[in-house]
């Protein structure tokens, strides 16, 4: 099985669609919630309380077409190692297959997305990006291409 979004179309190719189940619990989350890195683990407990109930059945690992160690990534997030969990989920394409097979309704892909976004929002922005954004605010829209 391959993901359609990563596969070049060829003659004779067959496409199958996976019917997705509705999430048992909506996942609205606010990136301003964990202002202090000490509170990140509490954010997981609030937003993904099911994550600590993982049965370690391995279904999510088997279902992942990207080969992500989903079970390990969920466990890593629950342990409070948010950055490491985000790194493990880095290749996730949000296909929902791990969520569809999870007997505890953890929504591992959404947990992974949360860890990636919180990690990114917690770090200082690169100086060159901040400088460029300031230039754009002042109306400097020049694009210079090095050749």
Cβ-proximal residues to 78 (8 Å cutoff; 6+ apart), any chain: 44, 51, 52, 54
Q: Indicate whether 56 belongs to any domain.
A: yes
C-alpha 137: how far from its chain's center?
30
59 pLDDT band, cuts 50/70/90, is very high
Q: Dihedral of CA 124/129/131/133: which sign?
A: negative
Task: State the CATH number of the domain containing residue 46.
Answer: 1.10.1060
Q: Indicate whether 81 belongs to any domain.
A: yes
Instruction: Tell me the longest C-alpha to C-alpha distance in the chain.
Output: 55
Q: Indicate whether 18 belongs to any domain.
A: no
In tens, the pLDDT along 62-96 reads 999 999 999 999 999 999 888 899 999 999 988 88
For the chain, the domain total comes to 1
Residue range(s) defining the domain that contains residue 96:
35-137
Rounded CA-CA distance 56/72 in Å is 9
Q: What is the pLDDT of residue 30?
A: 61
Q: Indicate whether 96 belongs to any domain.
A: yes
- Quick one: tokens of 84? 């490491």
* 12-18: average pLDDT: 72
Q: What is the phi/psi pair of residue 47, to 5°?
A: -85, -30
The predicted model scores a pTM of: 0.69
Q: Indicate whether 9 belongs to any domain.
A: no
CB contact at 8 A, 95 and 109: yes
In tens, the pLDDT along 91-117 reads 998 888 999 899 998 999 999 999 988
- Average pLDDT across the chain, whole number: 81
Q: Indicate whether 29 belongs to any domain.
A: no
Q: Indicate whether 16 belongs to any domain.
A: no
């Amino acid at each position: 099985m391959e993901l359609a979004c990563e596969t070049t179309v060829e003659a004779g190719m067959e496409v199958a669609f996976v019917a997705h189940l509705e999430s048992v619990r909506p996942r609205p989350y606010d990136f301003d919630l964990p202002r202090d890195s000490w509170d990140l683990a509490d954010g997981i407990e609030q937003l993904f309380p099911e994550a600590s109930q993982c049965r370690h059945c391995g279904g999510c690992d088997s279902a992942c077409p990207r080969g992500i160690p989903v079970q390990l990534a969920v466990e890593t997030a629950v342990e409070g190692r948010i950055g490491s969990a985000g790194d493990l989920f880095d290749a996730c394409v949000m296909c929902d297959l791990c969520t569809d097979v999870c007997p505890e309704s953890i929504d591992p892909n959404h947990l992974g997305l949360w860890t990636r976004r919180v990690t990114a929002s917690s770090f200082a922005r690169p100086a060159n990006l901040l400088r460029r954004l300031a230039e754009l605010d002042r109306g400097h829209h020049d694009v210079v291409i090095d050749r």
